[in-house]
Amino acid sequence: MNILFVADPLEAFKTYKDTTFSMMREAVRRGHTVAACLPQDISWRSGGQVQAVARRIELTGDDDGTWFRETGRPTVLLRDFDAVLMRKDPPFDSEYFYATHLLEQAEREGARVFNKPRTLRDHPEKLAIMEFPQFVSPTLVTRDAAEVRRFHAEHKDIILKPLDGMGGMGIFRVKEDALNLGSIIETLNKDGAETIMVQRFVPEITQGDKRILVIGGKPVPYSLARIPQGTEVRGNLAAGGKGVAMPLSDTDYAIANAIGPVLAARGLLLVGLDVIGACLTEINVTSPTCFQEITQQAGFDVPAMFIDALEAAVASAA
């Protein structure tokens, strides 16, 4: 296969942990060719088709800034690739949104894009949990400060977070004393201008915020539990959490097996479910990670499982 990765700048990859790099490495190991571009490298002109200035690369085997060698930078129609992988990291801002429209047009022209662009737009990572309330802890989505106060009065210990946050940014915990609740609400909802999410605090966070990967509708048998360190309430690796690979529990499997096939049928080849205790907290679809951490710690080859699924998806679409 000839695969195009729509991603962040290659020079910024931390190859010792980067999931997109691990996908490239496995693809090349199997004899596939890879190219990469930024979202801003994609364009469309009336009378033509969606195209991209793509960097054709070879992997050098090094683990530093020389991990790849560029062999050309042609302008190529997206439909001419066997697969296009949308791996641009969040945030899901206006430019990401516009990129999904360009990718959807490329699909209409015959390109095979993973994850499916329309489905990326239809599944905002925090709000997507509303479809599966049986797995969700008590949750409120609102911009009304009075509703947030009533929710706190009911549950006593809550988590507040912005809908467009990533990596644990903007997450606050407010305990029964309601210390700074008003200020936190004003900060997050911009005096009622923006919608936020509020959830009952799940004490099992001390055992980790588990990232459960679902590939082609099937769960990877190990999660990466992101465990908060010190006085931190956030388990996100970007916020200093410690990642520990562990086998999925029966509850983990129940959640993944209920949600995975539903999302796979909509064109989501790769999904990252965030689970604390028995509670689903997010459904990550833009650029799920943790491949290398799970592979290194548990010995389960996640990149191989992903490329297997990609090969099968491309073959079935041919």
Would residue 180 count as lying in a domain? Answer: yes
In this predicted structure, the answer to whether residue 235 has a pLDDT above a threshold of 80 is no
pLDDT on residue 86:
98
CB environment 140-178: b (16+ within 10 A), e (fewer): bebbebeebeebbeebeebbbbbbbbbebebbbebeeee
Same domain, 107 and 190: no
Would residue 50 count as lying in a domain? Answer: yes
Given a contact cutoff of 8 angstroms between Cβ atoms, the answer to whether 205 and 163 are in contact is no
156 in active site? no
**Annotated active-site residue in 107, 226, 252, 293:** 226
Same domain, 65 and 163: no
Q: Give the whole-angstrom CA distance, residue 271 versus residue 285.
A: 5
pLDDT on residue 23:
98
Same domain, 234 and 146: no
Q: Give the whole-angstrom CA distance, residue 288 versus residue 20.
A: 9
Mean pLDDT of 31-49: 98
Per residue in 291-316, pLDDT tens? 999 999 999 999 999 999 999 999 99
In this predicted structure, the answer to whether residue 318 has a pLDDT above a threshold of 80 is no
Same domain, 215 and 180: no
Same domain, 179 and 216: no
Given a contact cutoff of 8 angstroms between Cβ atoms, the answer to whether 56 and 72 are in contact is yes
pLDDT on residue 241:
83
Percent of the chain with pLDDT strictly greater than 90? 89
Would residue 121 count as lying in a domain? Answer: no
**Annotated active-site residue in 112, 211, 236, 293:** 211
**Annotated active-site residue in 82, 125, 209, 274:** 274
pLDDT on residue 92:
87
CATH code of the domain containing 278: 3.30.470.20
Per residue in 183-212, pLDDT tens? 999 999 999 999 999 999 999 999 999 999
| Residue 83, strand partner residues | 3
Task: Give the model's confidence band at 50: pLDDT under 50 very low, under 70 low, under 90 confident, else very high.
Answer: very high
254 — phi, psi (to 5°)?
A: -60, -45
CATH code of the domain containing 45: 3.40.50.20
Q: Give the whole-angstrom CA distance, residue 89 versus residue 36.
A: 14
Would residue 148 count as lying in a domain? Answer: yes
Given a contact cutoff of 8 angstroms between Cβ atoms, the answer to whether 287 and 89 are in contact is yes
**Annotated active-site residue in 115, 189, 236, 284:** 284
190 in active site? no
Mean pLDDT of the chain: 95
**For the whole model, what pTM was predicted?**
0.94
Mean pLDDT of 244-267: 98
Place of tokens 């029966």: 250
189 in active site? no
**Annotated active-site residue in 25, 87, 126, 210:** 126
Give the residue from 150, 168, 201 where a domain finishes. Answer: 201
126 in active site? yes
Over the Cα atoms of the chain, what is R_g? 20
211 in active site? yes
108 in active site? no
Same domain, 46 and 105: yes
Q: Give the whole-angstrom CA distance, residue 120 versus residue 128.
A: 11
From the list 45, 57, 63, the residue with the least C-alpha distance to 5 is 57
**Annotated active-site residue in 234, 236, 252, 293:** 234
Give the residue from 201, 232, 250 where a domain finishes. Answer: 201
Same domain, 110 and 7: yes
Q: Give the whole-angstrom CA distance, residue 4 versus residue 32.
A: 11
**Annotated active-site residue in 25, 55, 116, 161:** 161
In this predicted structure, the answer to whether residue 164 has a pLDDT above a threshold of 90 is no
pLDDT on residue 63:
74
**Annotated active-site residue in 26, 82, 282, 293:** 282
Give the residue from 175, 201, 227 where a domain finishes. Answer: 201
In this predicted structure, the answer to whether residue 236 has a pLDDT above a threshold of 80 is no
Same domain, 310 and 208: yes
- Note down the domain range covering 148: 138-201
Would residue 131 count as lying in a domain? Answer: no
Same domain, 191 and 244: no
Sheet architecture: strand order including 68-72 = 68-72, 55-59, 33-37, 2-6, 83-86, 113-114
CATH code of the domain containing 164: 3.30.1490.20
Domain count, the chain: 3
Would residue 130 count as lying in a domain? Answer: no
The three-point CA angle 129-87-304 to 5° equals 95
Would residue 312 count as lying in a domain? Answer: yes
Between 318 and 274, the higher pLDDT residue: 274
Per residue in 66-102, pLDDT tens? 899 999 999 999 999 999 999 999 888 999 999 999 9
The Cβ of residue 207 has, within 10 Å, a number of other Cβ atoms equal to 15
In this predicted structure, the answer to whether residue 231 has a pLDDT above a threshold of 70 is no
Mean pLDDT of 133-149: 97
